[in-house]
Amino acid sequence: MSVEWIRGVGYYANSYVSDGILVDAGVYPMSFEKFKDDIKTIVVTHCHYDHIAHLKEAAHMCGAKICIHEADAKGLLDDSQSLSVMFSERSPGISPDRILKEGDMVGNYEVIHTPGHTPGCICLYDRENKNLISGDTVFTDGGFGRFDFPGGSITDLHASIKRLDALDVTGLYPGHGVPVNCNGSSHIRAALRSLEMLYL
User: Domains in the chain and their CATH numbers?
Assistant: 4-199 (3.60.15.10)
pLDDT in tens, the chain (200 residues): 899 999 999 999 999 999 999 999 999 999 999 999 999 999 999 999 999 999 999 999 999 999 999 999 999 999 999 999 999 999 999 999 999 999 999 999 999 999 999 999 999 999 999 999 999 999 999 999 999 999 999 999 999 999 999 999 999 999 999 999 999 999 999 999 999 999 99
What pLDDT is stored for residue 179 in this prediction?
A: 98
DSSP 174: E
Q: Are 113 and 119 in contact (CB under 8 A)?
A: no
What pLDDT is stored for residue 1 in this prediction?
A: 81
How many CA within 13 A on the CB side of residue 150? 13
CA separation (Å) from 12 to 52, 101, 135, 136, 170? Answer: 9, 25, 12, 12, 25
